[in-house]
Structure 1
Amino acid sequence: MSVNKPSNIDEYISGFPVDVQTVLEEIRSIITDTIPEAEESISYGMPTYILDGKTLIHFAAHKKHIGLYPVPTDGTFEKEFLSYKTTGRGTIQFPFGKPIPKDLIAEIAAFRAEKIRK
């Protein structure tokens, strides 16, 4: 069976159950509200935001969580990340069944945008 890769974020989101779609749309809104000039794209099969020609942030739904990539690994958000699973490669996981940390996602997006703009 072949799986069609989404060509845009709407297609990506529509491929999930309604409850997951709601969470994905919420994350999408947080990013677009925080960095409205970022361009939407699909990269590596995931919703991706591009700023000034560089990857700002990706997000993706998985079986038990939503992943957000890349996130700072330099300790900038060390305290905020304590409640979530992270990897040293710049990933944070937001488990389904828990509220999405809107402020944290906005802060990460703003932090990444600042790094890109420097």
Structure 2
Amino acid sequence: MNQNGQHSELVDEYIASFPADVQLKLQRLRQIIGEAAPLAEEKISYKMPTYAQHGNLVHFAAYTKHIGFYPAPSGILAFKEQLSRFKGAKGSVQFPLDQPLPENLIREIVEFRVKENVERSQK
């Protein structure tokens, strides 16, 4: 959502640029993030959909064989065990396009990042 509570047209365009099956996964990911972080601003940053609340929360991007999910290094570290079955790096994880999205895990990571950013903003 943008500051007016609307989806970003730029994110709509980003998602629309992919094949229909990938669009469905990206829309579902967008929905999960929106539910877990209802006050987050939706925008494009680093050429990918980004959600911000007291700073950036998460980003995502689609690729040929996976969706990259970027919840910052803290989001990866906090869920290291649950994310261990996926390829990833310090601040990212790859969700293969040929597998279902781990919806509950994504929701938990986004909620973790919201809490982390809110707490940091209050210090």
Fold shared, TM-score > 0.5 on shorter chain: yes
1:74 deviates by: 6.7
- Structure 1 gaps of 5+ residues are 1-6
Q: RMSD of aligned C-alpha atoms?
A: 1.7
Alignment partners' CA distance in 1, 2:93 and 2:79: 11
Corresponding residue to 1:17 among 16, 19, 41: 19
Normalising by structure 2, what TM-score?
A: 0.84
Runs of 4+ in 1 over 4 A off after TM superposition: none
* Structure 2 equivalent of residue 94 of structure 1: 95
* Structure 1 equivalent of residue 78 of structure 2: 76
Alignment partners' CA distance in 1, 2:22 and 2:98: 10
1:78 deviates by: 1.9
Corresponding residue to 1:38 among 37, 40, 65: 40
Task: Describe the SS at the equivalent of 1:8.
Answer: helix
Task: Describe the SS at the equivalent of 1:59.
Answer: strand
Normalising by structure 1, what TM-score?
A: 0.88
Task: Describe the SS at the equivalent of 1:36.
Answer: coil
Over the matched positions of the two proteins, sequence identity in percent amounts to: 45
* Structure 2 equivalent of residue 28 of structure 1: 30
Aligned length: 111
CA 108–74 in structure 1, closer or farther in 2 if over 3 Å, else same = closer
Higher percent of residues as helix:
2
* Structure 1 equivalent of residue 64 of structure 2: 63
